[in-house]
Amino acid sequence: MNIKSALPATLLSVTFFSLAFAADSQEPEEAHPSKSSSEYLASSDGDLEKLMAAGFQNSLQSSALGSSSADLLSQNTNKIKSTWESLNTELGATDVTYDIILQAGHYNRKTGKTGTTGALVAEKWVTAYLVKNISDHLLSEGKYTVLAISADDYSPHLNAKIFLAIHADGSVKQCTTGPSLSYQDNGSTLAMHAIGWGLSQALGYKYSEFRQDGFTVDAAKYYMYKKLNAPIMKGLLEVGELTCPKREEQLIVGIDAVANNVARALSFVLASTTP
């Protein structure tokens, strides 16, 4: 099968690099790779064959393009602003192994690195909205335990099968960063490709080009990686640059598709890797 020809196509890929710091230390919180790792690229064809053979693409949603985009931009901006505080985060229990732990980047952080802000929305609003809706999608399946945590308030030594932190990006030089996914070494490349493909579909990118930039193993030395156990994958997902007006609007228009597709990816990976 020709994987590239089978994947959806619309926009171009992106290249980026940026760095932020945790509020409670000077260790890197988010570190972006400038290009995808050889391991990630080498795993592409095999992992995508598995995803396509299982019909993963049939569960994905695409971003609304065309005349409806202006209406969706306004509607979704209002939804993000009005519902982000409804995310219910918990400390979590150390004697439980959750199927998935989701962290909303910068959420509930009052000082220090409180996240970037675009012209329309703030990072902590976007990440909370996404975590809430991804959680709702997963919980609606009735078979997964999902824990949502904030940036700083959580129990030590949490356990999960998958951990995913969600952030949005910002840059002093506008329109130079973009979506990325990094994960700790020895994690699942299948999980990365499922999430990456879902994100690209939601935002209108061609995955065969999109996957060339910023999807990599162990590039993001995220501060949470050493604070919990998650054997399938510990990942850091950057969903796009809020300080670039075009990309901020693109993310807002596609935000519900992003939530659906990331949830579908996580569900697929759990079903594929859990006995």
| Cα–Cα distance measured from residue 206 to residue 261, given in angstroms and rounded to the nearest whole number | 15
Q: What is the pTM of this model?
A: 0.86
> pLDDT per position in the chain (275 positions), as tens?
444 444 443 322 322 223 232 333 333 455 556 677 788 788 888 999 999 999 999 999 997 655 467 888 999 999 999 998 899 999 999 999 999 999 999 998 877 788 899 999 999 999 999 999 999 999 999 999 999 999 999 999 999 999 999 999 888 889 988 788 888 877 788 998 999 999 999 998 888 777 665 666 655 578 898 899 999 999 999 999 999 999 999 999 999 999 999 999 999 999 988 66
Alpha-carbon distances, residue 110 vs 104, 114, 132, 243 (angstroms): 14, 6, 20, 21
Alpha-carbon distances, residue 76 vs 61, 79, 81, 205, 248 (angstroms): 16, 5, 8, 20, 12
Per-residue DSSP letter, 11: B
| CATH pick for 36-56+89-273 out of 3.40.50.720, 3.50.50.60, 3.40.630.40, 1.20.140.10 | 3.40.630.40
Q: What share of the chain is helix, strand, coil (3-state, %, to 5)?
A: 40, 20, 40
Alpha-carbon distances, residue 34 vs 39, 177, 209, 213, 220 (angstroms): 15, 9, 14, 7, 11
Which helix or strand (DSSP H or E) is residue 99 part of?
Answer: strand 97-104
Residues 6+ apart with CB under 8 A from 38: none
